[in-house]
Amino acid sequence: MTLNRIEHRELLRALRLEEAIPHELADRAKEHIASCPKCQLVLKKTRQLRKNLKPMLSASHPVAEELLAFLTAD
């Protein structure tokens, strides 16, 4: 399923920011994501970031130097 450019941009924004998928795209989004490498990559990166952040968020707040090292790591 293909979306037009505007719809695709809205979907990618929602995926990146972990927001609700716009209502008008909700029915088509799952099918689109299944066939869209770009959307799949965004989801993969978002999941990985959440996985990497989870230990830090559940522990005490890291110091600024640790946050900077995490954010700038490759």
- Average pLDDT estimate for 48-66: 78
Which residues are CB-neighbours of 21 under 8 A, at least 6 positions away?
Answer: 11, 14, 15, 29
Q: Quick check: 59 pLDDT over 90?
A: no
pLDDT (tens digit per residue) in 23-54: 989 889 999 999 999 999 999 998 888 888 87
Confidence check: pLDDT of 58 > 70? no
For residue range 2-18, list pLDDT tens digits in order: 899 999 999 999 988 88
pTM across the whole model: 0.62
pLDDT at res. 38: 94
